Amino acid sequence: MVIWSEKYRPSRVEEMVGNEQARLLIVKWLSGWVSGSKPLLLVGPPGVGKTTIVRVLAAQMGYDLVEMNASDTRNKEILQARISPVLANTGIFGKKILLFIDEVDGISGREDTGGLDTLIDLMQEPTVPVIMAANTKSSKIKDLGKACRVVEFGPVPDSHLAILLNHVLAEQKVSLPLEDRAAIVRTSRGDARSMLNSAQALASGYSLLSARDYHLDIADAINAYFGSDLAEQAREYFFRADAAYNDPRFGASPEDRRKDMINALFSSIVSTRLKPDDLAVLLDILSKADVLVGRASKNMQWVLVRYAREILAYRMFEPSRRRGIKYSQYSMPWPLMGPIFARARSMSGLLTELSSMAHTSKSTFGSTVMPYMVRIIAESNAPADKIAEELGLDEPASQALFKEIERTKGIGTVTGGSEGRRKSSAVGDSRGGGRRGSKG
């Protein structure tokens, strides 16, 4: 696997982000370099482009880069043995040499005995351009600093990092929710390399982010859960969803409803065209989890919610991979649901009134009285407004009744229709046939 921070290391100075002043200074220094020029000491936090600019410039300006870093032992002898030939052999190979000594603040006082002093000695009037880099201007390298021209690097601004991140993600064809991206940028503290590492880790399933406890919007979490190929990563998204698990029948605001995980999963699943088997399996898992949620709400056994979450995150993974499930807030397309809801709203008051007159529950009235009553009125051609008045219905209830009567007349027959037509009207609902038909 290619490490993104290496893969996307800039190959030209102008591709780099942040520290424009420092970069300009270095370019000017190298292009104006003459034998004996003071070496450069780049000081700045990790991941801001110190190493990168040296490599990029060497390539762009035709230098052979000789690199030394903290992994090499750098005591007096070794430094002399390695640096001296470089300084002496300049020009012999026909190519200019650029010496880069990284992490000079890592030269250890004990193990690299005399290392720094040797370095300072060697840096007096060097015969090739020398650049060194350090993270901090520690007292250890104070003397070295005096022998060099110090260039300070700062953290890369978040706005620049965000641009870089978006570019890399686009190249990798990876999509991360905005909240994830913002968190990656925020937690990398100006370090482009660390940012790319985090992004790659997150995209491949391991969250190295320092702020692990932040929440994802439920839509992003669900999309990420269903979109991810790695189980562990998918679950991570699932668990980080800003979601609620409770009984929506006990006074839920629209916002609560949106955060209702069971509901959100349901509407997402049923809005996707799935094979009957997949659908049955997924909804069965959801239904089981819902039982736990219901029991948790009823008995205040909130620990059950945790099991529900885990059952969902683990069991749904396998049967929902690559099924194209996307977040959907509504369980039915609005053109289908809208008219039902509108009717339900107007019918509700009417049903309450009428069922109490008939001393039944609304459910019984709706099943064994209402459909007949509407049909009887429609068939009789009696003036509906008079009936509503006799029943003592208020205005909204009357309107609802009129609508149902009109609807019945529209569907089926007033006296004299053929039996076949009656049958189909009894089955109901062919008014707005286009609406129904379009659902497929």
Partner 1 sequence: MSSLKGDLGGLMWSEKYRPSRLQDVVDQKEIITALTSLIRGSDVPHMLFAGPAGTGKTTTALCVARELLGDDWRRDTLDLNASDERGIKMVRERVKEFASVMKLTTDSSKQHDRPFRIIILDEADEMTPDAQTALRRIIEDSSKTTRFIFICNYLSQIIEPIQSRCAVFRFTRLPEEEVVDYLKMICEKEKVRYEERALSQIYSATMGDMRHSINILQTAAGMGSVSVATVASSIGLSGRARVGEVIRMALAGRFNESRAKLMELVQVYGMSETDFLRYANQEAYEMKLDRPDEFAELMAEYDYRLASGAHPEIQLAALLAQLGRIGLKSREAKAEKA
Binds partner 1 by CB under 8 A, chosen from 337, 410, 433, 438:
337
Handedness of CA 211, 215, 219, 221 (dihedral sign): positive
User: C-beta of 372: minimal distance to partner 1 in Å?
Assistant: 4
**Site for partner 1 contains 395 (CB under 8 A):** no
Helix (H) or strand (E) holding 90: none
Two tokens, residue 195: 């940012």
Angle (nearest 5°) at CA 21 between 20 and 24: 85
Handedness of CA 168, 192, 49, 156 (dihedral sign): positive
Please name the residues in contact with 419: beta carbons below 8 A apart, sequence gap of 6 or more. Answer: none
d(CA 174, CA 203): 7
d(CA 345, CA 328): 23
Taking CB under 8 A as the binding criterion, the range among 81-89, 133-141, 192-200, 385-393 that sits at the site for partner 1 is: 385-393
Residue 134, SS3?
strand
Nearest Cα to 325, choosing from 269, 258, 244, 398? Answer: 269
Instruction: Decide whether 158 or 278 has the Cβ nearer to partner 1.
Output: 278
What is the per-residue burial (b if ≥16 Cβ within 10 Å, else e) of 111-130?
ebebbbebbbebbeebebbb
**Restricting to residues 49-108, which ones interact with partner 1 according to CB under 8 A?**
none
**Restricting to residues 210-249, which ones interact with partner 1 according to CB under 8 A?**
246-249
Beta strand pairing call for 63-68 and 96-101: parallel
Number of residues that bind partner 1 (CB under 8 A): 77
Please name the residues in contact with 20: beta carbons below 8 A apart, sequence gap of 6 or more. Answer: none
Residue 148 and residue 39 in contact, taking contact as beta carbons nearer than 8 Å: yes
Instruction: Decide whether 41 or 270 has the Cβ nearer to partner 1.
Output: 270
Binds partner 1 by CB under 8 A, chosen from 341, 383, 385, 433:
341
Binds partner 1 by CB under 8 A, chosen from 391, 396, 399, 432:
391
**Restricting to residues 283-312, which ones interact with partner 1 according to CB under 8 A?**
283-284, 286-288, 290-291, 293-295, 297-298
User: C-beta of 390: minimal distance to partner 1 in Å?
Assistant: 6
Binds partner 1 by CB under 8 A, chosen from 91, 392, 410, 433:
392
**Restricting to residues 353-372, which ones interact with partner 1 according to CB under 8 A?**
353-372
Taking CB under 8 A as the binding criterion, the range among 185-193, 195-203, 210-218, 376-384 that sits at the site for partner 1 is: 376-384
Residue 140 CB neighbour total at 10 angstroms: 17
d(CA 98, CA 331): 65
Nearest Cα to 48, choosing from 14, 24, 19? Answer: 19
Binds partner 1 by CB under 8 A, chosen from 79, 203, 377, 405:
377
Instruction: Decide whether 103 or 290 has the Cβ nearer to partner 1.
Output: 290
Query: Which x/- pattern over 242-261 shows residues binding partner 1 (rule: CB under 8 A)?
Result: ----xxxx------------
User: C-beta of 386: minimal distance to partner 1 in Å?
Assistant: 10
User: C-beta of 175: minimal distance to partner 1 in Å?
Assistant: 28
Instruction: Decide whether 186 or 431 has the Cβ nearer to partner 1.
Output: 431
**Restricting to residues 415-434, which ones interact with partner 1 according to CB under 8 A?**
415, 419, 422-423, 426-429
User: C-beta of 8: minimal distance to partner 1 in Å?
Assistant: 44
The CA-based dihedral angle spanning residues 81, 84, 85, 91, taken in that order and rounded to the nearest 10 degrees: 170
User: C-beta of 222: minimal distance to partner 1 in Å?
Assistant: 15
Binds partner 1 by CB under 8 A, chosen from 158, 279, 307, 314:
279
Binds partner 1 by CB under 8 A, chosen from 53, 58, 262, 316:
262
Instruction: Decide whether 112 or 290 has the Cβ nearer to partner 1.
Output: 290
Helix (H) or strand (E) holding 27: helix 20-31
Instruction: Decide whether 60 or 424 has the Cβ nearer to partner 1.
Output: 424
Taking CB under 8 A as the binding criterion, the range among 3-11, 48-56, 182-190, 341-349 that sits at the site for partner 1 is: 341-349
Two tokens, residue 168: 């890399």
Binds partner 1 by CB under 8 A, chosen from 213, 255, 277, 395:
277
